[in-house]
Each structure stands twice: as structure tokens, then as C-alpha cells.
Structure 1
Amino acid sequence: MKKILFVASTLSHIENFHIPYLKEFKEKGYSVHVIGRVNNKSHIPYVDKIIPIEFEKSIFSIKNFYNSIKIRKILKNENYNIVNLHTTLAAFFTRLSVMMLCKKPELIINTVHGYLFDDNIQFIKKATMLSAEKFVKSVTDTIIVMNSIDYNIAKKYNLFKKNIYLIKGMGVNIKNFPSISIEKKLLIRKENNFSYKDFILIYVAEFSKRKNQIFLLNSLKKLIDDGVKDIKLLLLGDGQMLDEMKNYSKKLDINDNVIFTGYTKKTCMYYQLSDVCVSPSRIEGLPFNIVEAMSVGLPIIASDIKGHNDLVKPNENGYLFKYNNINEFCNYIKKLYSDKNLQYIMKIKSSKYAKKYSIDNVLYNTVDIICNEYKSHI
């Protein structure tokens, strides 16, 4: 029986993005194994073996180098046919393991969810991460990327041995994020204690410096001071900076206009009662939250970074603003706030564009890429 190994920094990453892929390879007759840090107790379906590895969030972590030795033993004992890598550090340290093997797996695929060395990154970090990718290039048979900028980076620095492919993300089940009528939207608002007059912005992301929630709080303060009094900001998610952002909201005296939901499974409902999806993130791959919001039919106002600029067509389904430019961001918010017809036009465009990123369109294409690459290597 052929074996495939999926590797990610956390098992929750596997759960969130790869269940349909695990199922597909299982149905193709593969024995499916996964590696990642255990951070929940959920059962992962379609998996024959779960191998816990406690990856740490640092390329200089001694523990991660020790993890490489452990993974080397696993690779040697299990004799995988395909190793499918995800997330930057887990992918690097696993390839480091492969370099220590006498006989490597037949196919190593690195699926890039967002390189950490684009032009928005500090020079030292960019140089470090780029050097790391170059170092393990010799065992990187194939690269799959999710946005045009990462595609160009991989080509420019020649970070793969054989082939590179550009896909439309991991695929979103857009059936779970339907667009609704204005009547139903108002009903959902009433049920959740929002007014029909509220102009609601929504951002779904973990609370971190990279996701940049502080920018939204500062922007909201400016919008309120500029007279946009009935504006609300919905922040979904949790993370290390959640409490800090709650305190900062109180400091700015805007906490009546900010709703922190914490972790919630009602993401679709919150999209449906909102008016605009916003994202001030510093770096992305091809963000699920934007595609989900597009599927619901929300205009998007997002930072002009990779991933975002693959999804947002300016003046069609939203706007892109220069990273951390509050004035530009607020001007786009005001533009949509004052023009219901523009909101409707962008709603139609967003729903249309989201279909290209559905799991139905992405899954089989990506699986075919992996299978065809495997056939070409054996």
C-alpha cells in the first residue's frame, strides 16, 4: 500500500484545511499519516496514524532541530511514497530531516501558504527565511503556491527542483457561506441585537501583530471622530493579543462600537449580518476569511499585500489600501458607507469571484497535481 504523509505545524491546521484531501487520498488507496503539534482533542477522520511533533515558532529553536532528528527516524521507518508539507517551519525542519536520509521519499511537495520573505518583511528576517528555503531546495521536488507573488518569488529564487504550480488556495466550501436577501439580513441583525442602521465591519482572524487588529481599532476611532457614529466593528477569533486589544479599545473609548466574539462557530451568521469585510493583515497566503466573506456577498477592503491582491479587484468587489494607511482605509469605508448601490454591485461581484476558489473547483485539480507529480518521479 502506498503511503502519504501530511505535515503541518499543528494538527488543527490539518483539520481546518486538509480533511477533503485526506479523504481523497484515503479513497485512492493510500495509507494516510499526519504530523503536527497537538493542540486539540478532536478526532481527525481518514487518518491511519497521527504522529505528534511539538514544533515551536522559531527557526532557531533547538527543539525544532531535535524534532528534525525524530522526524528523520519516522521517515526512515515508515518509508513514505509522498510527503506533502504545509506551514513554513514544519516544512523546513521536515526537509532538513529528509536531507539526513540515505534514501529520501519518492516525492517531496512543499505547499506554500505564504512565504515569509516578501517586501513587507524586515531585511534580517527576509534573508534568514530565504536562506533556509534555498538550503533545503535540494530535497524540494515540487512547490505548490497560492498567490501570484509567491509564484514569482519561487521562480525568481529557483526554490524547487522540478516543477511549480499555482492553485486557488486549499478550497472553501462556499455552500456553507451563502449570500442572503436584505430581508433575512435584517432579521438576523434583529435577533442579534444589531440595528438596521448599523454599518458593520467584520474581521475574522487570530489576534496577533501579523493580523494587525490594532490598525482597525485606530481606524474606527478616526471614523467615529469624523462623524460615522453608527459604525460597528466585529472582531471574531481569539489569540495572544485578544485581551490587549480589548483594553486598547477601552482606552480609545470605542468599546461600545467594537464587538469581540472570541472563538465562534457562527462565522457565517456574522458575515451575513455585516456590510463590509475588512483585513489589515501584514502578510497572507490566500486567506480563507476573505473568500468566505466574498461567498456571502460582502465587499472587501483589505491591505494591498499578496493573497489579498489575488482576491480583491479594486473598484469591482472592493478596494485595496496601502498597508497601515489609515486615511486611505477610512476613505474607502466612507465611500461604501455612503453608497448603498455601490455596496450592492460589489456584493454581486464578490459572490461571483468566490466560486473560483470553492473546494469543488480546487480539490481535484490539486490532488491531480500531486498524483501526476508522483507518477513522474517513480
Structure 2
Amino acid sequence: MDDGVKKKVLFCATIDYHFKAFHLPYLKWFKDQGWEVHVAAAGELKLPFVDKKFNIPVQRSPFNKMNIKAYKEFKKIIGDNSYSIIHCHTPMGGVLTRLASKNARKQGTKVIYTVHGFHFCKGAPLINWLLYYPIEKVLSSYTDCLITINKEDYLLATTHRFKAKSIKLVHGVGVNIDNFKPVVQSEKFSLRESLGYKPDDFLMFYAAEFNKNKNQKLLIESLALIKDEVKNARLLLAGDGPLLNKCKEIARALDVNDRIDFLGYRSDIENLLKISDVSVASSLREGLPVNIMEAMSSGLPVIATINRGHSELIDNEQNGYVIPAKSSKNFALRILEVYKSKELCKKLGLAGLNKMKNYSISKVILELKDIYSVYMGEDTNETQSKYNRSYI
């Protein structure tokens, strides 16, 4: 490529909101390096730091016929542009992009794929291993760099000999520690008042789509077990999804509907965390959950179910608790422990806050810069080795 022509990078995913939620700092970083930034995903969101955006009909289900059309569109876009780097995210975004990039790789394009959590993992259903494992194993051969965001996925990819030319581990997508941070008590109470809550309310917060994996039913059952002992307990559930109405029915059946605020989609998560006393999380499967990182960065103790993502972030009894996913009784007991001791609550929250220093956006940008620079023609093998050794 001539020196006078900007190099191009293409970011791909299933849906464009993925980039708005998690990757704007990295789009900006490429712009700051003088690169032309393209994005391809389903949706019509206007994204900053993007020179060209393609609306591709990617579907989450691997069996949806629209993905054939999406593959053809990815292939045309990649064929029409001389991308130096393609960075793909999400399972179907990763599958379709890597298949569509085969010819481009022969011309020198480098393909990076970030795994936000393999669907096959410890405890995953057999069908996940039968379907997703062979797909990811084969497609690793079409990957120059496979990025994992938790240790379990990193070890799985390395011990199962995935054939990506390089396998790296980074601290997730990063958390904005300038927005998500603790507040003094006076500010907390002022924010509570503005949002309709009392100073002495015991607020438990969870932000997630209402679906089977997020498992909000467990939180509702746990609240029902402590409702008589903790009369000021309230559960704040932000998000929408297919199981929202079902969860409302469960709340009514357990007579806790007046203790739960179903908040719907919210754009003020940082304020909801600032007014809360504890972060709760009930999902069955996570890669490295941003909602938990944001809660820890806000100085909250976390009570969560056991899975690879939660266990990566939560050191049991140090900065929170991890509980078996089907044990509402044990979950409720841990809530009571935190409720009864402000000192414990403060201790757990401070430990989590300290841990988040390694997960800040500024830290992750440095880690990704080391990876990107290898494919931008810069020699940063030494710095890559340094950060990998510090994490593994």
C-alpha cells in the first residue's frame, strides 16, 4: 500500500450496538493513528470514529438462512476494500467474517477474533460442545490472532491446540473508571432521593437482558427468602427481554412484586450503581461481564452465581461471593451477611475496587495496542510478552 493512502481496519460483529457498548475507545484509537475505520454489523446506529458503516443482516442463530446473505455481503465488502486488519467479535460475526476473509488473508490481510466467551465451557450443555466447538476449532485456522478475555477460555484454546497463529489474553473490553466510581454517602443519598428511593433502603442491583441465561428468577426467589427479615430490601432489575413478563409473574406469585423495580432499558447505569448497596448477578454463563466490572469499579460488593466470568472477577469472600447457580437459599444467606455488616460491605467493595485497576479502558487499550501494533508493522513482541506474563 502506498504511503499516501490511509490503511483501513474493519470491525465486524453480529449487531452494531456491540460497538457502541464496548468498543468505541478502540475505534477512536485507530482513528488517532490515522487509519480509516469501517464497521460491518446488523443495525443502523450512527457510530463515532467510523468512516464507513455497512448494515449486514447477521443473525445470532447459525441456522438462520439470512446468514448466507450476510456472508456474501461480508465477502463483497472485504473484496472491495484493501483492509490491513479485520477485527471480528461475537460468535456469528466471527464465523461469517473469518469465512469471508479467506482470500483476503492470502493477500496479506490480518484477521483478529475476540472471543467474548466460548459457548462450550465447563458445565455447558453437550449440544454446545457438539455444535460450537468444532466450528471454533476449524475457524481458528483462519485466524491470525485469537483474543480471549478470561483464563478458562485461554487455557481451553491453548490446551486444545486451536490453530490460530497467536492466542492472547486481555482484561476484557475495559471499564470506564472515570464514570464508574464510588461516591460519598451524601451524594448517594441525594441521588437516591432524585430517583425515588429512601436513605435506609437496601438496594440490590442487576442489569441484564431478561433471558434464560441471565436467570433473574434466582434473584427473585432469593429476595422472597429474606423479605421478612430485611423489610427495606429492594431489587432493582434493569433491562428488557423475552422473559420479562415471566419474571413479573414469579414476583407476584412469591409476593415480592412490591419489592422489585423492573426498570426496563436504562442509560444511567452509573447512577443506579452509585445508589446501590450491593451488586447481584445470576447468569449461568459469562465470558467476562462488564456489568460486574462496572459494579466493582463503583465500589460495590458482588454476590453472583458461579461461572467462568464471575469467578475470574470475584475472589470468593475477598471482594464478593460466588454461589451455585441453583441455590437461592445460599444466595439469600450471603445477601443477609452483607446486609447485617456495613463493615463487611465496605471491605468487599474496596477489594473489588482495587482489583479493577487492571481492567480499566486505559489498561486494555495498552494491551490491544501491543497486539494491533504487530499487524501494523511495529515490533512490540517484547511488550506483548510482558503483559501476557503479568496476567497468566
Normalised TM-score (structure 1): 0.94
Runs of 4 or more above 6 Å deviation:
none
Assess if the C-alpha contact under 8 Å between 2:16 and 2:45 holds in 1. Answer: no
Match of residue 345 from structure 1: 347
Q: Write out per-residue CA displacement over residues 127-185 of structure 1, whole angstroms, 9 at most, x where no aligned residue.
A: 21001111212211111111111111111222232111111111111111121112322
Map residues 19-98 of structure 1 onto 2, 5 A cutoff.
19-38=24-43, 41-98=44-101
Structure 1 pair 159–102 and aligned structure 2 pair: CA distance change class (3 A): closer
How far apart, in 1, do the equivalents of 2:338 and 2:371 lie?
40
CA positional deviation for 1:15: 1.1
**Equivalent of 1:8, from 2, 6, 13?**
13
For 1:305, the equivalent position in structure 2 comes to 307
Match of 1:162 in 2: 165
Partner of 2:204: 201
Quote the offset at 1:102 in angstroms.
Answer: 8.2
Q: Does 1:129 align with 2:132?
A: yes
Partner of 2:244: 242
> What's the offset of the Cα at 1:125?
1.9
Distance in 2, Cα, partners of 1:293 & 1:360:
18
Q: How many residues align?
A: 374
Residue 213 of structure 1 contacts residue 245 of structure 1 at CA under 8 Å; is this kept in 2?
A: yes
Could you say what the CA RMSD is over the residues aligned between the two structures, in angstroms?
A: 1.8
Segments of 5+ residues of structure 2 without an aligned counterpart are 1-5, 380-392
For the 8 Å contact 2:203–2:234, the answer to whether it is kept is: yes
Of 311-320 and 100-109, more deviation after overlay is shown by 100-109
Q: Quote the Cα distance in structure 2 between the aligned partners of 1:95 and 1:83.
A: 9
Q: Counterpart of 1:175 in 2: which secondary structure?
A: coil
Match of 2:216 among 213, 220, 234: 213
Q: CA deviation at 1:348?
A: 1.5
Decide whether the 8 Å contact of 1:8 with 1:86 is kept in 2.
yes
Partner Cα distance (2:327, 2:250) in 1? 19
- Letter aligned with residue 200 of structure 1: L
Using the TM superposition, give the Cα deviation of residue 376 of structure 1 relative to its aligned residue in structure 2, in angstroms.
7.7
Match of 1:285 among 287, 305, 312: 287
Is 1:255 the counterpart of 2:257 in the alignment?
yes
Between 1:186-195 and 1:46-55, the stretch displaced more is: 186-195
Identity within the alignment, %: 36
Q: Secondary structure at the match of 1:195?
A: coil
Aligned-residue offset at 1:314: 1.4
5+ residue gaps in structure 1?
A: none
Give the whole-Å Cα distance in 1 for the aligned partners of 2:133 and 2:68: 18
Distance 2:318 2:38 in 1: 42
Contact 1:142–1:160 (CA<8 Å) still a contact in 2?
no
1:154 is paired with a residue whose SS is helix
What SS does the corresponding residue of 2:353 show, helix, strand or coil?
A: helix
| Alpha-carbon distance between aligned partners in 2 of 1:105 and 1:53, rounded to the nearest angstrom | 24
Match of 1:99 in 2: 102
Using the alignment, how far apart are the partners of 1:311 and 1:59 within structure 2?
Answer: 30
> What is the rounded CA distance, in whole Å, between the counterparts of 2:138 and 2:312 in structure 1?
29
TM-superposed deviation, 1:104: 5.2
2: CA distance, partners of 1:66 / 1:156: 35
Shift of 1:374: 4.4
Aligned to 2:273: 271
CA deviation after TM superposition for structure 1 residue 246, in Å: 2.1
Query: Secondary structure of the equivalent of 1:51?
Result: strand
AA aligned to 1:179 is P
Bigger mean CA offset, 154-163 vs 47-56: 154-163
Cα distance change, pair 364–2 in 1 and its aligned pair in 2 (3 A): same
Give the letter for the 2:36 counterpart: S
Instruction: Name the amino acid aligned to 2:12.
Output: V
TM-score, normalised to structure 2, is 0.91
Instruction: Report the counterpart of residue 383 of structure 2 in structure 1.
Output: none
Q: Secondary structure at the match of 1:292?
A: helix
CA distance in structure 1 between the aligned counterparts of 2:260 and 2:303, rounded to whole angstroms:
18
